[in-house]
Amino acid sequence: MILNEDDTNSRLPTIDLALRLFSKNDKEWQKNRQSLLPNGKLLKKRMIKIIKREQIIPTFLGQCYKIEEKYVHFLLNENTSLAPILPRPRKKKITAV
């Protein structure tokens, strides 16, 4: 099975492929791309990991990604609760005035 349209044929999907699969139109593509950027939600919360292949594909869209294992288990198991795998919210420090 070929996941990528290059000579490497990585077994991991590229960011470009994910955006094509999960975006219905250009507006959604732009919104979804923001969540995959270094300061995006998916990377900040460590839900996915970017596998850099800059020596082969120098563009951001050509990089591969991997979903962290605990999220894969959640996605594949319909009886799993989301609460244990989500990062806990940070407590705000209250400073005295």
Say if 50 falls within a structural domain.
yes
Which residues form the domain of 43? 15-76
DSSP H or E stretch at residue 42: helix 41-44
Say if 62 falls within a structural domain.
yes
What residues have CB less than 8 Å from 5, skipping those under 6 apart? none
User: What total number of domains does the chain contain?
Assistant: 1
Say if 55 falls within a structural domain.
yes
Say if 67 falls within a structural domain.
yes
Q: What is the pLDDT of residues 46-59, one digit of tens each?
A: 888 888 766 666 78
Q: What is the pLDDT of residues 18-34, one digit of tens each?
A: 899 889 999 999 898 88
| Cβ proximity of 74 and 85 under 8 Å | yes
Q: Is the dihedral of CA 47, 51, 52, 53 positive or negative?
A: negative
Taking residues 11-24, report their average pLDDT: 87
Q: Is the dihedral of CA 70, 28, 12, 2 positive or negative?
A: positive
Binning pLDDT at 50, 70 and 90, where does residue 73 land? Answer: confident
